[in-house]
Amino acid sequence: AQRVTQPEKLLSVFKGAPVELKCNYSYSGSPELFWYVQYSRQRLQLLLRHISRESIKGFTADLNKGETSFHLKKPFAQEEDSAMYYCALSGSGGSYIPTFGRGTSLIVHP
């Protein structure tokens, strides 16, 4: 079974502070990991995926297979980063159902 754990329900930081949203996963095969974001009154949308190894809006995430983690990081948080963040896993080999964590609410204070 595949599982995604986001241990923090809420993360509150001040503008300019570093941010790290934690994500741990459980999957026996080779996973595809994603971060989705939901801004206030907007639909859930993809932020980034591990396979593309890109930085989106200053956010990066590295897949650590040894620690089965895919933490989302940003060196300097901005107020517009305030949103709900979901880590998701999509398995390979026939198990393509995106499985989501419970989400972390990020609040960036001015």
Partner 1 sequence: EAGVTQSPTHLIKTRGQQATLRCSPISGHTSVYWYQQALGLGLQFLLWYDEGEERNRGNFPPRFSGRQFPNYSSELNVNALELEDSALYLCASSQDIPMGNTEAFFGQGTRLTVV
Q: Which is nearer to partner 1, 20 or 32 (CB)?
A: 32
Q: For residue 90, which of 41, 46, 44 has the smallest C-alpha distance?
A: 46
Q: How far is the CB of 46 from partner 1 (least distance, A)?
A: 5
Amino acid at position 79, single letter: E
Please list the residues that pair with 106 across neighbouring strands. Answer: 11, 83
Minimum distance from CB of 16 to partner 1 (Å)? 29
Residues near partner 1, by CB under 8 A: 6, 9, 32, 34, 43-46, 49, 51, 86, 88, 90-93, 96-103
Q: Are 34 and 59 in contact (CB under 8 A)?
A: no
Q: Which is nearer to partner 1, 14 or 92 (CB)?
A: 92
Least distance CB 62 / partner 1 (angstroms): 17
The CA R_g of the chain, rounded to the nearest whole Å, is 13
| Interior angle at CA 67, CA 99 and CA 81, nearest 5 | 60
Closer to partner 1 by Cβ: residue 2 or 78: 2
Minimum gap (Å) between residue 74 Cβ and partner 1: 21
